[in-house]
């Protein structure tokens, strides 16, 4: 059976065990999971789904999250989409509205809804972030190694290609945020442009000149969400014949004024507070802070709450140029890889070895769900071993995650997750230490 047939067969089995296409309210996917919202949750057999060959795990939250792994999830979702794409009848649509209301009342707490919307804003940007990050990181590594001059045309072209996303990231965030909160995506893009427009430098409010980009992604989120709600509110009072002209114009005008007077200063204050607060915690807390942050990350991944950290990571990079939090959290993933590799060496179960072989590449690239749900969590001991035995790695990361070394720390952890290598005096010694800890943990677990 070809791979495409395998994907189609798996999608068909998933659909059957979820109650058929008439029971599918909505579905989407992230890097590793097919997320399904059924009309009737009782018709979805989570236990049977877990036993399917190719399914690495199932998480029952506000949506049914089926862990398939990187790459596989794209193909299975495409096949799944073809199976459920038939036009639904009116009775099914009415049932969908009723079931959605029931789900909102029963499962969707405000906090869960907030995290769900945040994830929906940033998850679609991951492929672009990966591509831009890889190009930027590899370019910097080649330049620092002396293989390419920073002034050469090739280096300049590669730098421009890789940096484009980060220059205009606010526009993409604005599009997704406005769409997620019920607004027009194009107006969300304008909300992002309001923040990053270079012409902002000509504006002076309360005796101070505005700075382009001030407020960062936090300000963009505020502006995009505000313009979405403003658009919906204004549309209620505008005749249909004038809606296409009046609604977007008035929405943009109001949002622009509020953005420059409120959202940019407020977003800038919050961004500064996040950056300075985190750096202060790492400077003062040191080893203890690193241990606590690292040890709690895997439980966040298991519950899906780690998506709430995404805006914080992106805002740190946007405001200070690096992310001192990510390397500490990444140590939990390093422990997962070591534990899974140890199980691979020790176990004789073919299915388990197959699951590990499929999850290790994505684990090395910083995507841990396939290993967590397919290997370490079902076995029990490895996941706790990864959380607590890898504290030395977190201790090292926290020591170098101070405000003086956060750039090095980010790039050291990014050896696999994003190759933004650094030329730091202690870089090589730390890399040797991390490699040594990996093999020490491996030997201990074996």
Catalytic residues: 30
Residue pair 328/312 in contact by the 8 Å Cβ criterion: no
- In 347-405, alpha helices (H): 350-364, 369-371, 377-379, 381-389, 391-399
> What's the farthest any 2 CA atoms get from each other in the chain?
72
Dihedral of the alpha carbons of 114, 115, 118, 122, in degrees to the nearest 10: -170
CA 175 to CA 191: how far, in whole Å? 8
**CB neighbourhood size of 403 (10 A):** 15
CA angle 362, 324, 30 (to 5 degrees): 35
- HEC string of 235-252 equals HCCCCHHHHHHHHHHHHH
Buried b (16+ CB within 10 A) or exposed e, 418-428: bbbbbebeeee
Per DSSP, 376 falls in state I
Residue pair 372/384 in contact by the 8 Å Cβ criterion: no
Q: Which two tokens stand for residue 391?
A: 């504290």
Residue pair 84/21 in contact by the 8 Å Cβ criterion: yes
CA 151 to CA 63: how far, in whole Å? 50
CA 125 to CA 307: how far, in whole Å? 13
Q: What are phi and psi of 53, to 5 degrees?
A: -70, 120
CA 170 to CA 315: how far, in whole Å? 10
Paired sense of beta strands 33-38 and 57-60, if any? unpaired
Sign of torsion over alpha carbons 441, 439, 420, 396: positive
Among 431, 439, 195, 410, CA closest to 322 = 410
CA 88 to CA 108: how far, in whole Å? 25
- In 181-263, alpha helices (H): 185-196, 216-235, 240-258
């Amino acid at each position: 059976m070809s791979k495409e047939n395998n994907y189609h067969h798996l999608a068909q089995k998933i659909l059957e065990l979820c109650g058929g296409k008439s029971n599918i309210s909505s579905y989407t996917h992230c890097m590793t999971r097919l997320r399904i919202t059924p009309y009737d949750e009782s018709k979805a057999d989570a236990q049977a789904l877990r036993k399917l060959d190719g399914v690495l795990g199932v998480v029952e939250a506000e949506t049914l999250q089926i862990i398939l792994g990187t790459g596989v999830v794209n193909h299975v979702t495409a096949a799944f989409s073809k199976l459920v794409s038939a036009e639904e009848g009116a009775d099914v649509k009415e049932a969908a509205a009723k079931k959605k209301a029931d789900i909102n009342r029963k499962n969707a707490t405000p906090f869960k809804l907030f995290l769900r919307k945040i994830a929906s804003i940033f998850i679609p940007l991951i492929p672009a972030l990966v591509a831009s990050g890889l190009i930027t990181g590899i370019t910097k590594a080649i330049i620092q190694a002396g293989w390419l001059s920073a002034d050469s045309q090739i280096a300049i072209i590669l730098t421009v290609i890789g940096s484009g996303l980060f220059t205009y990231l606010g526009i993409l965030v604005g599009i997704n945020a406005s769409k997620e909160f019920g607004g027009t995506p194009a107006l969300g893009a304008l909300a992002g442009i309001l923040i990053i427009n270079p012409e902002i430098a000509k504006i002076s409010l309360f005796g101070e000149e505005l700075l382009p980009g001030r407020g960062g992604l936090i300000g963009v989120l505020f502006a995009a969400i505000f313009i979405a709600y403003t658009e919906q509110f204004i549309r209620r009072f505008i005749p249909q014949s004038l809606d296409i002209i009046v609604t977007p114009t008035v929405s943009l005008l109001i949002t622009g004024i509020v953005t420059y007077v409120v959202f940019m200063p407020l977003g800038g204050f919050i961004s500064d507070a996040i950056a300075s607060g985190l750096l202060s915690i790492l400077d003062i807390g040191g080893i203890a802070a690193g241990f606590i942050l690292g040890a709690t990350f895997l439980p966040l991944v298991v519950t899906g709450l780690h998506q709430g950290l995404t805006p914080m990571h992106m805002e740190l990079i946007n405001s200070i140029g690096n992310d001192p939090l990510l390397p500490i959290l990444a140590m939990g993933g390093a422990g997962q890889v070591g534990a899974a590799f140890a199980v691979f060496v020790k176990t004789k179960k073919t299915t388990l070895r197959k699951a590990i072989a499929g999850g290790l590449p994505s684990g090395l690239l910083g995507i841990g769900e396939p290993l967590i749900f397919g290997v370490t969590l079902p076995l029990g001991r490895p996941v706790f071993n990864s959380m607590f035995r890898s504290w030395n790695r977190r201790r090292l990361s926290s020591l170098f995650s101070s405000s003086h070394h956060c750039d090095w720390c980010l790039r050291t952890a990014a050896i696999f997750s994003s190759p933004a290598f650094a030329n730091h005096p202690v870089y090589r010694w730390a890399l040797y230490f991390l490699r040594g800890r990996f093999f020490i943990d491996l030997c201990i677990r074996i």
